[in-house]
Amino acid sequence: RAGEEDREELRKQVALIDLERRTLRRLANTTHTEHYPLVTADGKRVLFITTDQSTFWAYVADLEANRLVRLGPCSAGTQLRVFADDGEHVIYNGDNALWSVSLRTGAARIVYAPRSRRIQEGWITSDGTKAYFRGTEMKDNRAAAAFVVPLSK
């Protein structure tokens, strides 16, 4: 039985729980707070965000290969993240741009970057072709409309 301090520490972590064996395996061995887990449809990979004070990072845990890959910096509290349907790419919001990262090679590229507005919460289609988001104007932080944008291939 976990003590109160252990429970508080576990609350900040992303872990895989095997209910039959009654075991718990942390996906990352960091001192950062981990959150926003997103699991692929086949259950083989988990995308999550870590925070270390004011720095946010996107990670993918490959459960079969027992491998953890840091994708890059991302935006605080980002809900803009998805595994593309091909299972080979992750698209996420980082540094006010939408990035596509190959899970095979680690190559990252910008698929959309607005010029005058800040990306807020939104969604990316699972096929990786469009993003829907709410934005604010950078010059005066005024709320802007919702946007639908195509993502480059």
Task: Report pLDDT digits (tens) over 13-65.
Answer: 777 788 899 888 877 766 667 677 888 888 888 888 887 777 788 888 888 88
Any idea what the Cα angle at residue 126 is, between residues 28 and 132, rounded to 5°?
100
pLDDT, tens digit, for every residue of 76-124? 655 677 888 888 888 888 878 888 888 888 888 888 888 888 887 777 8
Q: What is the DSSP letter of 114?
A: -
pTM of the model: 0.71
Structural contact between residues 62 and 45, judged by C-beta atoms closer than 8 angstroms: yes
Residues in the chain: 153
pLDDT band of 140, cuts 50, 70, 90: confident
Q: Are 83 and 69 in contact (CB under 8 A)?
A: no
CA dist., res. 14 & res. 108, Å (int):
24
Segments in the chain forming alpha helices (H): 4-11
